[in-house]
Structure 1
Amino acid sequence: MSVPHEASEPYDVRGMRVTDHRFTVPLDHSTPDGESITVFAREYSDAELAPAETEQLPWLLYLQGGPGGKGSRLLSFSGWTKAASKHFRILMLDQRGTGLSTAANRQTLVLRGDASAQAQYLTHFRADSIVADAELIRETLGSEPWTTYGQSYGGFCTLTYLSFAPHGLRESLVTGGLAPLTGPADRVYRATFRRVAARNAEYFAKYPQDRGITTRIARHLDAVPEFLPTGERLSVRRFQMAGSFLGGNTRMDGLHFMLQEAFVPTPDGERLSDTFLETVHGLVSRAANPLYALIHESIYGQGGATGWAAERVLGEFPSFRPDAEEPLYTGEMVYPWYFDEDPALVPLKETAELLAAKNDWPELYNTGQLARNTVPVAAAVYTDDIYVDRDLSLETAEAVRGLQVWESADFHHDGIADDGEGIFNRLLGMVRQNRE
């Protein structure tokens, strides 16, 4: 089945031939003749190849991390895209609701009606719908079964693809993205809280002086109103979200450099600097990716309500509380208070509550199909990943027939930012070693 499709004339960007694609797909794939939305994807190929040569290359679909992350905007081939461009035409998908696809945010969702209507609309934005979009796009482009490369949440989508549309896949690569196939969201957060605590310990061992400055900032925020550039007061618990720095190899050092610029002298005593507040704002605002907060827990929803699982499990880890004697930085958990403190999310609070209470989510994975899998799959699992737990990842790997794992302690969650070319080539070699 093909769907309405518009493609731009190709244009060149620093050695890349680029084509913009817009596809009209059903909002609800179970009712294909109902309401439709637009899904955008950008094609990249090597500009040195003649158009006829490019046409002969197979497609690679990149499934971005998230949820709520748009496809990467390439300015040149580098890292994994440099490696992939030698073998493929790369298709960067703006997953529904993101980027240039039909938007889903505080500005547009109000057009859907009340919170109940908004929540119902957003039930169609998980991996099952993303995979159904991808299959329609593949067929519309006239592609044979294609290769997918899933980073983080893109790996979750890959597992859904393998579950429900394996006929569309030639081979799949996954980095930092083997989701648990069963069980409540609570066990995900229980595992990742432990990983984040260990990463905090590693960070403060490297920068012991930052233990004191972190606590000092927290206590300062308790006593002195400090405001982010968007006008809202910065809370301790929101400052703790700077722990997103801890999810990467080199990014961890960025936290240290940010803290060095925290305080400046003023006529009213020491205050947090504009530089510091601007950097924190960039870390804690969900204006650019509100779907991350709205549907984050639902990506672990297998039937029952998630019910703010991270907030519930937080009670078992008091060192992460903002009033702890020495509070720790948090990871990628989403809490209900996000919708009280982030201006981009405040209008969506009731919608988020309805999604958290939804107790009839459809299954995202078919464990029987995964146990019978015949699609070659290779996955990088990072030993100390604070976002996608290593032990849960290996449990999933065991449940997918033929899935090959490369485990590494050399990288964290954003490993492809450090050595994307090497990681991509290694995984591609793994899925092809017995075929070519």
Structure 2
Amino acid sequence: MPGLHVTDHEVAVPLDWSAPDDGPSITLFARELTAAHRSHEDLPLVLFLQGGPGGASPRPVDASSWIGVLLERHRVVLLDQRGTGRSSRVDAARMAGFGSAEEGADFLARFRADSIVRDAEHLRKTVYGGRRWTTFGQSYGGWITLEYLSAAPEGLAASMITGGLPSLHPDAADLYRRTYPRALAKNRRFEQRYPGDAAVIARIADLLAAEDVRLPDGDRLTVRRLQFAGGARFGMQHGFEELHWLLDTAFGSGGRLSDAFLEAVQTATSFAENPLWAALQEAAEYTDDTSGATRWAVRTEHERHPEFAETARPLRFTGEMFYPWMFEEIRLLRPFGPAVHVLQERADWPARYDHARLAANEVPVVAAVYFDDLYVDADLQLQTAGEIANLTTWVTDEWEHDGIRASGGEVVRHLQRMLDDRGGPRR
């Protein structure tokens, strides 16, 4: 691979870390990168924790952008979190094999951040001889980072976080109360930037409401699926432009939706790449021992916002929120549905964060907080930052949630400078 030296690692880890000797194991995969000209140097390690949940690690094509910045100083370890990529991937076929919804729910509950931390520690000790490493957590990678700081801070030299400081007091209902106004504001900004698109969107929605329009995989394209597809990228640097140009060629001959448009919507909403993103986000990742059951908090909040109704005009896009209808209408999510419904009713979740340990944290942590972040509320992030010792934030309105990619590495460089100013990673 141009400019890169690549080493792949596979280790076995227990499916259930609470009973590591009593059940099956799964495969944990990590890819280690070094700059080709430094492959024999004893460089410090940085573990990249991908956003999600349910996102596999990046597949780099060269040593450029943000990965290239990290490679200037480190060996970069790209971990496929359990259930993703080459780490015993969980997909529709796997979920269809369970005999009951409870069995499937028990299985999915093993793919939370607490298990990912245990996996990372096992990898650090077995492959890297127990050397401390720096973690770099993007979005959901920040959730994992805070659980890492709670459970095994001795393994960490430092931590960098971008767009990913979760509330230390998980409350799904409060999260959605905060998210809907931000989503509405994003919609209004899009409408101001591209006022001519409202008529195109209304035309598409009216067509979908009146006719049975099918995606290439056979799923029906409904208005609410269109709402998710349109808003899924609103929190990214060029999300408005991506949607605008998608709408530009939405219609083909005879007033039908174009094949290219239907293919793009399917790609954005099929969850072929990341079904755990939808399956785990609310019930498994916005919960702890004090939160109780979530019971589809997103649906409850959605019903309070008629401006997001399928019949509303202008039609508003919902963004990165996952609803019960998805597990009925989307083919690759349907096998997850029974288990996810069980998870939504569960109230006996384990503790997620060690508040006392975080308040006395000794690991240097630097975090980028995107002021206009659609997905992770900036106020909640700053509240969390105030509850963790030795954590410094950088609040910026220059970048959106995908700042590490969109900035071409500048966000990473800024965090590195912040860490350097504080004396660098601990030894």
Give the TM-score category using the shorter length: over 0.9
Mapped to 2, the partners of 1:418 and 1:325 lie a distance apart of 32
Q: Equivalences for 1:132-147 in 2 at 5 Å?
A: 132-140=118-126, 141-147=128-134
Counterpart position of 1:229: 216
Q: For 1:372, which of 360, 373, 381 is the aligned residue?
A: 360
Q: Does 1:390 align with 2:390?
A: no
Partner of 1:213: 200
* Residues 377-425 of structure 1, C-alpha deviations (whole Å, 9 max, x = no match): 0111111110011111111111111211101111111111111421111
Hey, what does 1:90 align to over in structure 2?
76
Q: 1:215-239, CA deviations, whole angstroms, 9 ceiling, x for partnerless residues?
A: 2211111012211011121000000
Decide whether the 8 Å contact of 1:294 with 1:355 is kept in 2: no
Q: What are the Cα deviations for residues 95-120 of structure 1, in whole angstroms up to 9, with x where unaligned?
A: 00000011211112334432211110
Structure 2 residue corresponding to 1:49, chosen from 30, 38, 49: 38
Aligned equivalent of 2:294, options 306, 315, 328:
306
Give the drift of 1:264.
2.1
User: How far has the Cα of 1:265 moved from its partner?
Assistant: 2.9
Give the Cα–Cα distance (whole angstroms) in 1 for the partners of residues 63 and 338 of structure 2. Answer: 42
The answer to whether 1:37 aligns with 2:22 is: no
Counterparts of 1:368 and 1:393, CA distance in 2: 18
Shift of 1:175: 0.4
Matches within 5 A, 1:75-86: 75-86=61-72
Q: How high is the sequence identity, in percent, across the aligned residues?
A: 44
Contact 2:48 2:135 in 1 (8 A): yes
State the 1:50 CA deviation: 4.8
The 8 Å contact of residues 185 and 300 in structure 1, kept in 2 or not, is answered as yes
- Residues of 1 paired with 2:197 and 2:66: CA distance? 34
CA contact (8 A) 1:193 1:331 kept: no
DSSP 3-state at the match of 1:118 = helix
Structure 2 contact 5–39 (Cα < 8 Å) conserved: no
> Superposition pairs for residues 242-391 of structure 1, below 5 Å?
242-266=230-254, 270-297=255-282, 298-303=284-289, 304-391=292-379
Question: Higher mean Cα deviation, 135-144 or 38-47?
Answer: 135-144
- Equivalent-residue separation in structure 1 for 2:420 and 2:296 (angstroms): 41
Counterpart position of 2:88 = 102
- Tell me the residue number matched to 1:428: 416
**Contact between 2:95 and 2:335, CA under 8 Å: does it hold in 1?**
no
Q: Gaps spanning 5+ residues in structure 1: where?
A: 1-12
Give, in whole Å, the separation in 1 of the partners of 2:168 and 2:316. 29
The amino acid of 1:78's aligned partner reads: S
Q: Structure 2: how far apart are the matches of 1:414 and 1:407?
A: 14
CA distance in 2, matches of 1:50, 1:306: 47
Q: Structure 2 CA distance, aligned partners of 1:373 and 1:318?
A: 44
For the Cα contact (< 8 Å) 1:382–1:407, is it kept in 2? yes
State the TM-score, normalized to the length of structure 1.
0.94
Number of the residue aligned with 2:402: 414
Match of 1:165 among 148, 152, 160: 152
| Distance in 2 separating the partners of 1:50 and 1:37 | 29
Distance in 2 of aligned mates of 1:328 and 1:406: 31
Relative to structure 1, the CA distance from residue 189 to residue 142 in structure 2 (aligned partners, 3 Å threshold; closer, same or farther) is same
How far, CA to CA, are the matches of 1:407 and 1:170 in structure 2?
23
In 2, distance between residues paired with 1:426 and 1:349? Answer: 42
CA distance in 1, matches of 2:95, 2:227: 29
* Aligned residue number for residue 204 of structure 1: 191
Any idea what SS the aligned residue of 2:231 has?
A: helix
Give the SS at the match of 2:342.
helix
Find the aligned partners of 1:112 and 1:90 in 2 and give their Cα distance: 36
2:56 to 63, 70, 82: 70
Provide structure 2 residue ranges, at least 5 long, that are not aligned to the other structure. Answer: none
Q: Does 1:115 align with 2:101?
A: yes
Per the TM alignment, residue 249 of structure 1 is displaced from its structure 2 partner at its CA by 1.3
Give the corresponding residue for 1:10: none
Quote how far apart the aligned CAs of 1:143 are: 3.9
Distance 1:110 1:390 in 2: 38
1:163 positional shift: 1.1
1:74-95: CA deviations, max 9, x gaps? 1111111111101111000000
Give 1:2-21 correspondences, 5 Å limit. 13-21=1-9
Moved over 4 A (4+): none
Question: Partner amino acid for 1:300?
Answer: Y
| 1:58–1:143 Cα contact (<8 Å) kept | no
Provide the rounded CA distance (Å) in 2 between the counterparts of 1:155 and 1:356: 23
Shift, 1:130, TM fit = 0.3
SS at match of 2:234: helix
Cα distance in 2, alignment partners of residues 232 and 127 from structure 1? 31
Change (3 A) 1:204 1:50: closer
